[in-house]
């Protein structure tokens, strides 16, 4: 999908350049602008995606623990306390999601402004160079400018979405490489016969309470 959007964007840029050869001069500037836009958006969205994952983890853990301990929660009357905690975690988890949604709308706005700038420049060239440009070529260029807006948004959105979701894979890879196992060397062997021979438990300075 991303490759097809890239090919469509290149084809439409070629058609726009065919309709107005002077408009093709601005294509390197347009491509540089798109690169800077996706770089800024990618850095921000990647961090917000990580924050979104981190803030949702306690909410999922609370849901799973509440589901497994439902009988205990009802027995001790902890429904209201857990309900309030769930609301607090839900509100916290929605903050990065809202910011991520906001910068997605920012990306759409900026890309629309870039395409609008191309259309305005094309119309200025058509007016200033009237009589020297073929009417069919101008119409073809204008038609492709309209379709170019949608395809360039798809291209940048697909690219940044892929890069953002790769962050989740990178976190898993980093965890598997840096996490230290809790077992000591030799502890994965079968226990000897008669183990354990004795057992004891000691508590020092212990305090406990419940609501």
Supply the pLDDT for residue 194.
79
The residue ranking higher by pLDDT, 5 or 48, is 48
φ, ψ (nearest 5 deg) of residue 195: -85, 135
Residue 48 has pLDDT above 60, yes or no: yes
Task: Check if CATH label 3.90.550.10 holds for domain 2-174.
Answer: no
Supply the pLDDT for residue 49.
79
pTM of the model: 0.62
Residue 4 has pLDDT above 60, yes or no: no
pLDDT mean across residues, the chain:
75
Following CA atoms 15, 19, 21, 26 in sequence, which dihedral angle do they give, to the nearest 10 degrees? Answer: -60
pLDDT classification of 133: cutoffs 50, 70, 90? low
Helix-strand-coil percent breakdown of the chain, rounded to 5? Answer: 80, 0, 20
Give 130-141 as a DSSP string.
TTSS-HHHHHHH
Residue 190 has pLDDT above 50, yes or no: yes
Give the model confidence (pLDDT) of 59-94 as tens digits.
Answer: 888 888 888 888 888 888 888 888 898 899 989 888
Residue 22 has pLDDT above 80, yes or no: no
Q: What are the C-alpha distances in Å from 83 to residues 31, 76, 133, 195? A: 50, 14, 69, 45
Boundaries of every domain in the chain: 2-174
Range scoring the smallest mean pLDDT among 78-87, 113-122, 196-205: 113-122
């Amino acid at each position: 999908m991303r490759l097809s959007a890239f090919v469509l964007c290149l084809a439409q840029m070629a058609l726009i350049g065919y309709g107005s050869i002077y408009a093709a001069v601005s294509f390197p500037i347009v491509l540089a602008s798109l690169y800077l836009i996706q770089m800024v958006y990618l850095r921000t969205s990647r961090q917000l995606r990580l924050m979104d994952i981190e803030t949702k983890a306690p909410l999922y853990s609370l849901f799973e623990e509440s589901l497994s301990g439902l009988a205990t929660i009802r027995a001790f009357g902890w429904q209201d306390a857990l309900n309030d905690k769930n609301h607090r975690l839900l509100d916290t988890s929605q903050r990065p999601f809202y910011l991520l949604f906001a910068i997605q709308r920012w990306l759409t706005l900026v890309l629309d402004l870039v395409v609008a700038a191309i259309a305005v420049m094309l119309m200025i060239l058509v007016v200033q160079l009237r009589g020297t440009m073929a009417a069919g070529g101008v119409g073809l260029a204008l038609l492709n400018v309209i379709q170019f807006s949608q395809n360039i948004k798809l291209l940048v959105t697909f690219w940044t979405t892929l890069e953002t979701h790769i962050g989740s894979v990178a976190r898993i890879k980093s965890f598997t490489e840096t996490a230290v196992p809790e077992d000591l060397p030799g502890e994965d062997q079968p226990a000897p016969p008669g183990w354990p021979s004795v057992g004891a438990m000691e508590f020092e300075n212990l305090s406990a309470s419940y609501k």
